[in-house]
Each structure stands twice: as C-alpha cells, then as structure tokens.
Amino acid sequence: MRVVFATAELSPVATVGGLAAAAAGLSAELRRLGVNVDLVMPDYGGISLIDETVTTLDVPAWVGAALVRSGRHPEVGPLHLISVPGMARSHPYLDADGRGWVDNDERFFRFSRAIAAFVEADPPDILHLNDWHTGAALAALESPPPTVVSIHNLAYQGVAGPEWLDVIGPNAEHYEWWGDTNPLSGALALADRIVAVSPHYVTEITTPEGGFGLDAALRARGDALVGILNGIDTDVWNPADNPLLVQNFDAKTLTQRPANRTALLERLGLPDDDVPLATIVTRLTHQKGVDLITPLIPLLADIPMRLGILGSGDAALAAELHRLVAAHPEHLAFVEGYDEALSQQMFAGGDLFLMPSRFEPCGLTQMQAMRYGAIPVVTAVGGLVDTVPDVDAAERSDRPTAGRGFVARSGEPTDLLAAMFRAGRRVTDRRRRAALQKRIMTVDWSWREPAKRYRDLYVELQR
C-alpha cells in the first residue's frame, strides 16, 4: 500500500507545533508497519537530502515553477520537498515580527496545487492530507484517490479572499465560505474520511462552541468523522537514557528521579524543600491558558506549591509573569524563550505538570510529562480528557486504578485552584505519589496503536 502523506511541518525538518511531531511519529510508525509512505512537505530552503533527484511538476501557470526534490533525509528517511514561488522562508508561517507572512495564502494554495500534480503524476492508493495548508489539493483533483484529512487544530483554517475560487480547480465550489475561500472547509467536504486527533475533540468540534464555524459541516459528515488519539515518540521521550537529564531513571528506579528535581530547583532559583513543584512548558498563547493561572500566583504559598514556567509568545503575558516573579520570588520562576534541555529537565524534575488549556485538540506535553513521572493537572478539554482521567473520580468509581492526574472542570480560576489543591495533597504523600508516577510512566503512549488504526482506515478505504 502506497500513501502520499502531505504536511506543512515535519519534525525535525520544520517544526512549529504539534503537527510536526504528529506527522513524523505517525509516518515513521506506518513505515514500520509496512506501509509505503511518500512524505511530502514544502521546501522551505536549507534542507539537505541524500541521493537527491529533481522533478518538474505539471501545474497551471498561476502556480509558477513547481519542483519536487526527492531523496533521503538523514533523520526522517525518504522525503519529497515541493518548491513553489515564495515558499522558501526562514519560518514556515511567520515573519521576524511574529506576524503571518502576507502571502501565506498564495504560498499554500500553490503548494496544495503542486501536491495535486504530484498525485496525478503517480497516483497512490491513499492520499493523506493534514490541516488547511494541504486542503486545497482536493480542489484540483477530478478523480482523487481515497483521501483522509487529519484535523490537528480546527482554529486555523487559512481563510483567504474569494479570488482563489476562480483558480484552485474544478471542485472550487466546495471551498466557498461566506464569500471567501476556506481551504479546510472544502477538504472536509470532499475527503472520504476525516480524523480528529483525539476522540473527545470529535465531540467538541461538532458543537458551535468548539467548531470554529465548521461544526455544522462536520456534523453533516456523520460517520466519516472519527477520532484517533495521537502518540509520542517513546524512543525520544525516554527518561532512562535521555542525556539532557542530571540523572536517568524509569518506573522501576524512581528513587533516582529526585536528583533532577534538586537540579531544576537550583536552575530556577527556587528553594529546595518539600513543597510540591509544578512546571509549565508551553507557548504563551490564548489557547494554552497561562493567563488563567496568573490570578492564582499570589495563592501559591497557601496551597502550598512552587511553579516554574518556560515559554514564549505573547509579550504582555510575558511581562505580567516577570512582574509576578518579582512579587513572589519564593514561589514562581519564569524563563522566557525556549530551551530544549531545560524543557526536558522540567518534565523530569517537576512533581506536577500544569496544562490550563482553553482547548487542546490532542496535546502532547501531558503525555511527555507523564512519561517522565510528572503528574498532570489539566482542564477538561480535547485530548486531555482522553489521556488524563481524574484520580479522585476514578477512585470513587469501579476503576480505582484508572486515574492519571487531576482535572479542572473548567478553566475558571476556582476550578483550577481546586485541582491544584487536590494535586498538591496527593504528591505530599510519598507512597501514593510513587504509585501514581509508576502508573503514568508505564502507559503505552507510543504511535503503535494509533498507526494501526490509520492503517486499518486506509485498508477500509480501498475496499
């Protein structure tokens, strides 16, 4: 079975968000299952391939010259890089000021049309598209192969002006969206199957509150819409052999984990005592909800809890966090930016890991944190619902060992505070904390089962 798998991001070649990790993890596991995966992504420039060949793609004049460089990438294996005018940039989507490139619509409509040409030149058994960046490929394909579209984040749809409806292809009518052109809405209408990246996210995106204007269109697809939870690369996210940690450990050697906590507290400039340490590793965006935590910072001494935050993004939120550090230096530390080594240390050294997301299609960091023994405190949204059953609720049910963390019913400060209180009490009981850590560290968070479900979906579509 040959699958053309098209994505705008692929770790570690071009990484912005969770799409990159998901595309890399899923495609690699599919290959291990024997699926012939043709990975296709934009050529952003500066990407070297081994045994490279270059092919011209047959595209309309409005696309401009379209080339595909094919070869082997040293880390991801066989890879096809599509070059169209304007695609090569220092960042896939954003300029130096953090704003979207003004011609992102042109860049990704051209890329999508080139994907269609790639498919037409050598039709695969399955076409797998990811997010809006690739969605307009179906506008140009009059006889497409069976197609899967994965929704990694419905909030981003790439809506552009109506002029694109005149050029993107014979199926353009499906892309008309309130007088504009929506590359995702058309793909959702034309795909044979739509996959949301967690089962609970399926429920959310079919409601007006979580559907970002596409809820009715998604409800109309009925059983064509399914949820498959993402995985993580458990070879990469492995505390037993991670060279960035002060001390390696696993679920059987948890007594070695505290060395990472001590080193992290020293790095953050926080006191090293028995007060529970929570960490956050995130982007400072509205979605991630760090601003929902800031009103609770003055209450950390009362919980009690210390908090270390690593992140970058919204400048006003970063400034507020710096102000709060100055006011509460014994309980809050904030490192602005991104530091790979520090992020790994925060997973390995924190007692708790906070994710106060307003919405979270799947979430990867809660799985990464659990793999490292950090107990998650999350909001009840998206994939967080699927991966973090509440400990206290589970213990009151007929499945007392099913709990994995602490869930706030909403993002309201009172609910978050209640979840943090409950989590703080649990981790101060060393025996119960260790039992919970062993439980969450031994869950199979790998891509093995998700990839099997995708493979089964591909097989079903060929019948």
Per-residue confidence in pLDDT tens, the chain, 463 aa: 999 999 999 999 999 989 999 999 999 999 999 999 999 999 999 999 999 999 999 999 999 999 999 999 999 999 999 999 999 999 999 998 888 999 999 999 999 999 999 999 999 999 999 999 999 999 999 999 999 999 999 999 999 999 999 999 999 999 999 999 999 999 999 999 999 999 999 999 999 999 999 999 999 999 999 999 999 999 889 999 999 999 999 999 999 999 999 999 999 999 999 999 999 999 999 999 999 999 999 999 999 999 999 999 999 999 999 999 999 999 999 999 989 899 999 999 999 999 999 999 999 999 999 999 999 999 999 999 999 999 999 999 988 889 999 999 999 999 999 999 999 999 999 999 999 999 999 999 999 999 999 999 999 999 8
Cis, bond preceding 208 (omega within 30 deg of 0): no
How far apart CA 334 and CA 309 sit, in angstroms, is 5
How far apart CA 301 and CA 327 sit, in angstroms, is 12
Q: 182, exposed or middle or buried, with CB in 10 Å at 0-12, 13-18, 19+?
A: buried
Residue 75: count other Cβ atoms within 10 Å of its Cβ: 12
What is the SS3 assignment for 413?
A: helix
What pLDDT does 98 receive?
Answer: 83
What pLDDT does 82 receive?
Answer: 98
DSSP H/E element including 371: helix 365-371
Q: 461, exposed or middle or buried, with CB in 10 Å at 0-12, 13-18, 19+?
A: middle
Q: DSSP letters of 190-234?
A: H-SEEEESSHHHHHHHTSTTTSTT-HHHHHHTGGGEEE------T
What pLDDT does 401 receive?
Answer: 84
What pLDDT does 193 receive?
Answer: 98
Query: Which are the contacts of 316, defined by CB distance < 8 A and separation ≥ 6?
Result: none
Task: Please count the CA atoms within 13 angstroms of the CA of 393 that sit on its side-chain side.
Answer: 13
How far apart CA 229 and CA 73 sit, in angstroms, is 27
What pLDDT does 400 receive?
Answer: 81
How far apart CA 329 and CA 210 sit, in angstroms, is 37
Q: Are the C-beta atoms of residues 39 and 76 closer than 8 Å to each other?
A: yes
Euclidean distance between the first and the last CA atom of the chain, given in angstroms as a whole number = 13
